[in-house]
Structure formats: C-alpha cells, structure tokens
C-alpha cells in the first residue's frame, strides 16, 4: 500500500474519506489510515465525535476501521478483500500472523473443507476465527496453569513437610445411661434363664406318659402347668415391656452410642445379639403347640 503523506487539511481529508466510502476492500484501510491521522493530530480540536457525525460515521465504526488499518496496512493480500472479511479478522488473537492467516488454507469446522480466506464466505471465516480464539484461550489457560503450579512448586520445594494433627473429642457416656445399660444386661440374663426353665418344664410334661395318672390328676397337672406357663408368659411380657420402655432409643442415646468407646460398643453389641436371640426364641414359642385338655 502506498505510504504517501496525508494532508493536514481537514476538508481534504473529509472529502477523501467520503470518496473511499464508495469503494470496497482497500477503501477500509485507506479510511482507517485517515481517521487515525485526524485523531492523533487532533485536527478536529477535540470535536472528534461531532466530526464523525459530519461524515455519517459513529465512534465504533471509526475504531474498527482504525484497527483494520493498524493490523492489515502491511498485508498486501488483504487489500482486495471485502470489508466484511477484514472486520471479521481484526478480532483474531494478536499471536496470529495476519499475512499467513490470509494466505494459507484453513479447515472449516462445520464442513471439514479446506479453504483460504479468499474462498470463504464471511460465515465460514467467522467459524475459523472462533476456532482460533478457542485455541488461543486454551493455550493461555495452559500457560497460566503451568505458571501457577511452577510458582507453588518454587514456594514449597525447600519447605519442610507440615504435619497436621486433629484432636477428636469423645463425649463420656453419662452415668445414667451406663446404669440403664447395666440393668438391661441384668434383665436380659434373667429373661434368658426364666424362658429356659419354662421351656424345660413344658418339654418334660409333653414327654410324660399320661397313662401313669388318672384323668383327674392329669387334668390338675395340666392346669397347674398351664397356670405356670401363663405366669411365666406374663412375667416375660412385663419384662419385655420394661425393656422397651428403658431401651427406647432417643436422639441423645443415639449420639451417646455413636460416640461410645469401641469396648463399650462391643459389649452393647453382644447384648443386642443376645436380645435378638431371645426375641427369635419367643417368636418360635408363640407359634408352638398350646396346652390343651385331656379327654376323659
């Protein structure tokens, strides 16, 4: 492009710009060149915006044309390109060589075709530009990450390792809870023995040869055993009721159990297992044979 000196006559410059507005391609760069000259030399005496209005141009358009001149005035192959393509390329990353970008083929992301800027539509150029911007963004991010981790490494490589300690406070099981657990252990032991005795008596009766007794004696024996069985069952039922009332798990008790020492948890687990066995045995007895009346 010709680097002829520009006039310092604002009227002449204005006329040249209006003339170039009628021409495509190179006109963008020529207009940008003159706009830059007027702005830098303050030929309009601080009336830049007003002067732009006089040539039917806004501040944004003027800035884009100045950018186009700055970036493409030394790129020979840009002078024949339409203004739309030049304006698309001014937002390319600064690291992209404009001359090389215009001359070499590029892959169009949406089609996979290989085209030069000259053969692309403005829409295709926009796709390629966006791909370059994304690539530049990822490269910048990678550089920033590398710098960040290098800084961290330099800060810590000569420092001794830091050992962090954490104190865990375990709440002591309240005395009342401890007493209730001890009582529960005692009750479960008694229930186990009482149920065992009742079961042995019933079994002994079932195996007894009833011909050894007369009918009246057998009936009395049955009634006695039935009464003992009922009493044992009532006692067991009351014991279960008491157990349920005492062992009702409140939110406080849940927290206490969760923070108890491993030894206490293990002992409680043994009792819970014993209680489960008793419950299973009780269920089995409930579904077993019931004492009846011997027919005469």
- Residue-wise pLDDT for 160-172, tens only, equals 766 766 666 656 6
Q: Are residues 75 and 99 in the same domain?
A: no
Q: How high does pLDDT run on average in the chain?
A: 79
Instruction: Name the band, by pLDDT with cuts 50, 70 and 90, for residue 56.
Output: very high
Question: pTM higher than 0.85 for the full model?
Answer: no
Q: Are residues 55 and 17 in the same domain?
A: yes
Both tokens of 98, joined, read: 């404009």
Cα–Cα distance, 240 to 231 (Å, whole number): 14
Q: Which carries the bigger pLDDT value, residue 273 or residue 288? A: 273
Task: Assess if residue 169 is contained within a domain.
Answer: no
Quick one: pLDDT at residue 253?
67
Q: Which segments within the chain are labelled E, that is strand?
A: 106-107, 114-115
Cα–Cα distance, 249 to 237 (Å, whole number): 20
Backbone φ and ψ for 114, nearest 5 degrees, come out as -100, 120
- Residues in the chain, overall count: 296
Q: Are residues 203 and 274 in the same domain?
A: yes
Contact 27, 83 (CB under 8 A): yes
Angle of helix 215-246 relative to helix 262-286, nearest 10 degrees, comes to 150
Please give the tally of structural domains in the chain.
3
Instruction: Name the band, by pLDDT with cuts 50, 70 and 90, for residue 175.
Output: confident
pLDDT at 212 > cutoff 60:
no
Quick one: pLDDT at residue 149?
84
Using the 3D structure, point to which of 109, 126, 157 is the last residue of a domain.
157
Using the 3D structure, point to which of 90, 108, 129 is the last residue of a domain.
90
Q: Which carries the bigger pLDDT value, residue 259 or residue 169? A: 259
* 3 state SS of 115: strand
Quick one: pLDDT at residue 1?
47
Using the 3D structure, point to which of 59, 90, 121 is the last residue of a domain.
90
pLDDT at 153 > cutoff 90:
no
Task: Assess if residue 214 is contained within a domain.
Answer: yes
Quick one: pLDDT at residue 18?
75
Both tokens of 157, joined, read: 């490589």
Cα–Cα distance, 97 to 82 (Å, whole number): 19
pLDDT at 252 > cutoff 80:
no
Q: Which carries the bigger pLDDT value, residue 142 or residue 178? A: 142
Mean of pLDDT values over 240-269: 74
Task: Assess if residue 231 is contained within a domain.
Answer: yes
Residue corresponding to tokens 């009628």:
22
Instruction: Name the band, by pLDDT with cuts 50, 70 and 90, for residue 296.
Output: very low
Q: Which carries the bigger pLDDT value, residue 125 or residue 293? A: 125
Pairing mode of beta strands 106-107, 114-115:
antiparallel
Mean of pLDDT values over 175-180: 73
Mean of pLDDT values over 187-199: 67
Question: CB neighbours (10 Å) of residue 292?
Answer: 8
Q: Which carries the bigger pLDDT value, residue 159 or residue 75? A: 75
pLDDT at 25 > cutoff 70:
no
Quick one: pLDDT at residue 159?
72
For residue 124, the enclosing domain spans: 93-157
Quick one: pLDDT at residue 256?
73
């Amino acid at each position: 492009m010709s680097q002829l000196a520009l006039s310092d006559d604002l009227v002449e410059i204005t006329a040249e710009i209006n003339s170039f507005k009628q021409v495509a391609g190179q006109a963008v760069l020529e207009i940008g060149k003159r706009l830059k000259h007027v702005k830098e030399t303050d030929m309009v005496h601080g009336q830049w915006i007003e002067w732009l209005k006089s040539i039917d141009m806004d501040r944004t358009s003027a800035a884009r044309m100045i950018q186009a001149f700055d970036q493409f005035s030394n790129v020979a192959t840009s002078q024949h390109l339409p203004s739309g393509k030049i304006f698309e390329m001014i937002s390319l990353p600064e690291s992209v060589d404009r001359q090389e970008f215009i001359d070499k083929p590029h892959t169009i992301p949406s089609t996979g075709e290989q085209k030069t800027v000259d053969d692309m539509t403005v829409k295709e150029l926009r796709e390629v530009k966006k791909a370059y911007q994304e690539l530049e963004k990822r490269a910048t991010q990678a550089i920033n990450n590398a710098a960040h981790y290098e800084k961290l490494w330099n800060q810590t490589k000569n420092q001794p390792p830091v050992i962090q300690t954490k104190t865990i406070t375990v709440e002591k099981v309240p005395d009342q809870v401890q007493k209730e657990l001890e009582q529960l252990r005692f009750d479960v032991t008694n229930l186990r023995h009482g149920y065992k005795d009742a079961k042995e008596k019933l079994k002994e009766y079932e195996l007894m040869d009833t011909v050894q007794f007369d009918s009246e004696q057998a009936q009395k024996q049955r009634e006695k055993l039935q009464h003992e069985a009922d009493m044992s069952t009532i006692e067991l039922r009351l014991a279960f009721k008491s157990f349920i009332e005492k062992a009702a798990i409140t939110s406080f008790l849940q927290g206490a159990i969760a923070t108890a020492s491993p030894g206490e948890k293990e002992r409680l687990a043994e009792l819970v297992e014993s209680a489960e066995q008793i419950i299973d045995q009780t269920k089995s007895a409930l579904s077993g044979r019931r004492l009846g009346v011997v027919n005469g």
